[in-house]
A = this chain, B = another copy of it.
Amino acid sequence: MNNPLIRKLEQFTRLSGSDRTILDELASTGIRRLSARRDLVREGEKPRAINLMLDGWAFRYKMLEDGRRQIISFFLPGDLCDLNIYLLREMDHSIAALTPLTFCEIPRDTFEQVTERPRIVQALWWDSLVAAAIQREWTVNLGQRNALERISHLICELFFRIRGVGLNDDTSFFCPITQNDLAEATGMTSVHVNRTLQELRGRGLVHWKGKQVEIPDLGALCQLALFNQNYLHLDREGAHLDAND
């Protein structure tokens, strides 16, 4: 099986054959499927297990009492949600599938097996530090960037992350986000998202057709978005841990 978690972690450090075996076992326990737009996890529930996304996209969201909804983050294949989440009594947010989704629920005990593997543990730490950095960058995005920059920045981030697990296609990638989702993720209305995408299309920076997003000139888009990829920590920072086999 093609394990996107391995692919992602190897952006940090090269894993050994036995490391990969362990991660493959991890990713084959408790596999579940869910159709699009269904909740995997609901706010208020007791957390059950660690979820690992294998195929398809998902998103974290939170609703306000009056019905407003904010998408807090996107989960791509290879993404883990909330290591050690079972320490909490109840979830403070929900997670839903964006597409038909294949994921696995890793029980606490199973997960603790990988604790024996220092290289994997460090790679997982790297991953959660990056996840935290992404959340911080969303704060910056929502707080400081205007509509055009904000949408552009999100597109850049998704492209780099998708490329990290090898699911891109040169200058384009499959992106199942609707304009309404984009609105909920960027804190704008869908009307304004629509107009902003038209502006990007008009400038020749992004061609979003259906679920395929093409970026003819990534450099130009990054510049417009004030996108600095440093927060994704993609420069093989754990190279000194590389396995030799």
A residues near B, CB below 8 A?
A: 43-44, 60, 62, 64-66, 68-70, 72-73, 82, 84-85, 87-90, 92-93, 122, 125-126, 129, 132-133, 135-140, 142-145, 184-187, 226, 228, 230-231, 233, 235, 237-238
Contact = CB atoms under 8 A, between A and B. Distances in A.
B226 A66 contact: yes
Contacts of A60: 136
Name the 9 nearest CB pairs between A and B, nearest first. A143-B187, A142-B142, A92-B231, A70-B143, A70-B140, A89-B237, A68-B144, A84-B125, A135-B135
A87 B144 contact: no
Nearest to A186: B143
Contacts of A69: 144
Kindly report how many copies of this chain are found in the complex they form together.
2
Contacts of A138: 139
7 contacts: A43-B230, A62-B137, A65-B228, A70-B139, A73-B139, A89-B235, A89-B237
Given A88-B237, A233-B92, A139 B139 contact: yes
Given A140-B72, A144-B64, A226-B64, A125 B92 contact: no
B144 A143 contact: no
A127 to B, nearest CB: 10
Contacts of A65: 226, 228
A88 to B, nearest CB: 6
Contacts of A66: 226
Contacts of A228: 65
A112 B238 CA distance: 19
Contacts of A126: 87-88
B187 A72 contact: no
A79 to B, nearest CB: 14
Contacts of A92: 133, 136, 230-231, 233
Nearest to A125: B84
B143 A93 contact: no
A140 B62 contact: yes
Contact of A136 (B44, B62, B88): B62
